[in-house]
């Protein structure tokens, strides 16, 4: 693949990141000096309540390669990434966190793999997770294991995050996926194409705090599994079948025993265990049904995953003026006085 004149869009979702944005731009300038003419930075402000957007707008005055996609409220990182996928125009896109946990210098290697080796999906793999707690490492390891066991076709590499470069053809494929459940790690893997992982050591956040907690991570894991496997739904027929067979065997056993030894009143313990066990199995299966049903409801409603309220910087000139609707989002790019009334 020969891409002499190429543009890489660095996509950076931000939520309440006033402490990190400026350092991010400085570090990127420094570390990616050698490809600076081929780079644009697209910040997605995910409804920050602090002055993140104001800082980005100030930085735009000093650097004309910076664009800002402003969402109308906080929609979550997955939605912010979806908005960027729909809007950026680069020949390739690199997803990066603003907290510098995704080392910018690795982007050089991503771009090299993309241009010279023709890899379409270059992703970073965290080889050293010593910054994470033992519990976090164990739970995330468990998640990747379960996900890949349950999802028969789409496999996600363990310890790969959102930090990656994807080629235009992967971007255009992803833009066709209409689902509201944006489990991006899975979606990034879904199109296939030539993929390659590159190991790196994940540093600590430069400033600020993580936006994740265990409850959010648990729900994120459920989104991932329900989005890529229906096995948790189907497995209950088998569990029910197995318990049914055991029940019949036990019934035969009781019949024979009663025929031989006569009626015996005691049996409270076994009765209680059976009732409680079956009760819990039924509740779990209804719960699993609920998980899928709730998500199905979201899909049926078909509400946009994100709403863009404003675009500034070079990107605003490339995006159609007025309101535009994609399979997953709504974009308002209204220049004052030039509203599109069609």
Residue 211 binds to ligand UDP (criterion: CB under 6 A): yes
**Which of ligand UDP, Mg ion, none does 15 bind, CB closer than 5 to 8 A by kind?**
ligand UDP
Q: How far is CA 217 from CA 160, 211, 212, 222, 255, in A?
A: 15, 10, 7, 9, 50
Record the tokens describing residue 226, joined without a space: 């329900």
Out of 6, 9, 11, 13, the only residue in the binding site for ligand UDP (CB under 6 A) is 13
Cβ 180 to ligand UDP, closest distance in Å?
16
Out of 76, 186, 191, 313, the only residue in the binding site for ligand UDP (CB under 6 A) is 76
According to DSSP, residue 190 is labeled T
Distance (Å, rounded) from C-alpha 296 to C-alpha 299?
A: 5
According to DSSP, residue 33 is labeled G
Cβ 251 to ligand UDP, closest distance in Å?
52
Distance (Å, rounded) from C-alpha 76 to C-alpha 15?
A: 8
Q: Give the DSSP letter string of 158-182.
A: TTEEEEEEEEHHHHHHHTT---S--
Interaction pattern, residues 147-166, with Mg ion; x per rule: CB under 5 A: --------------------
Query: Which C-beta is closer to ligand UDP: that of 93 or that of 119?
Result: 93
- Tell which positions 55-114 bind Mg ion, by CB under 5 A: 97, 99, 101
- Tell which positions 88-127 bind ligand UDP, by CB under 6 A: 97-99, 101
**Which of Mg ion, ligand UDP, none does 238 bind, CB closer than 5 to 8 A by kind?**
none
Residue 15 binds to ligand UDP (criterion: CB under 6 A): yes
Distance (Å, rounded) from C-alpha 229 to C-alpha 155?
A: 11
Distance (Å, rounded) from C-alpha 81 to C-alpha 305?
A: 10
Q: Which residues bind Mg ion (CB under 5 A)?
A: 97, 99, 101
Q: Which residues bind ligand UDP (CB under 6 A)?
A: 13-15, 17, 46, 74, 76-77, 80, 97-99, 101, 210-212
């Amino acid at each position: 693949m020969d891409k002499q004149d190429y543009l890489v869009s660095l996509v950076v979702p931000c939520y309440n990141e006033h402490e990190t944005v400026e350092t991010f731009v400085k570090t990127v300038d420094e570390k990616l000096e050698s490809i600076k003419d081929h780079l644009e930075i697209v910040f997605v402000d995910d409804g920050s309540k602090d002055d993140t957007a104001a800082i980005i707008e100030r930085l735009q005055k000093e650097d004309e390669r910076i664009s800002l996609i402003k969402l109308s409220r906080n929609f979550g990182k997955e939605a912010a990434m979806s908005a960027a996928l729909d809007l950026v125009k680069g020949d390739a896109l690199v997803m990066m966190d603003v907290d510098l946990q995704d080392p910018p210098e690795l982007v050089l290697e991503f771009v090299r793999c993309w241009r010279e080796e023709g890899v379409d999906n270059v992703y970073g793999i965290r080889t050293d997770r010593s910054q994470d707690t033992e519990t976090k490492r164990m739970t995330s390891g468990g998640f990747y294991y379960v996900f890949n066991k349950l999802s028969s076709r789409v496999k996600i590499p363990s310890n790969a995050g959102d930090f990656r470069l994807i080629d235009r053809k992967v971007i255009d494929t992803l833009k066709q996926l209409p689902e509201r459940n944006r489990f991006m790690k899975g979606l990034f893997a879904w199109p296939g194409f030539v993929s390659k992982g590159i190991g790196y050591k994940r540093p600590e956040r430069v400033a600020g705090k993580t936006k994740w907690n265990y409850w959010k991570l648990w729900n994120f894991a459920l989104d991932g599994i329900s989005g890529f496997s229906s096995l948790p739904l189907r497995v209950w027929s088998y569990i029910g079948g197995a318990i049914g067979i055991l029940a019949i065997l036990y019934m035969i056993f009781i019949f024979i025993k009663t025929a031989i030894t006569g009626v015996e009143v005691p049996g409270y313990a076994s009765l209680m265990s059976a009732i409680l066990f079956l009760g819990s199995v039924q509740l779990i299966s209804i719960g699993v049904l609920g998980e899928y049903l709730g998500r199905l409801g979201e899909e049926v409603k078909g509400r946009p995953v994100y709403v863009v309220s404003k675009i500034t910087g070079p990107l605003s000139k490339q995006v159609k003026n007025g309101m535009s609707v994609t399979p997953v989002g709504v974009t308002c790019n209204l220049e004052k006085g030039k509203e599109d009334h069609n």
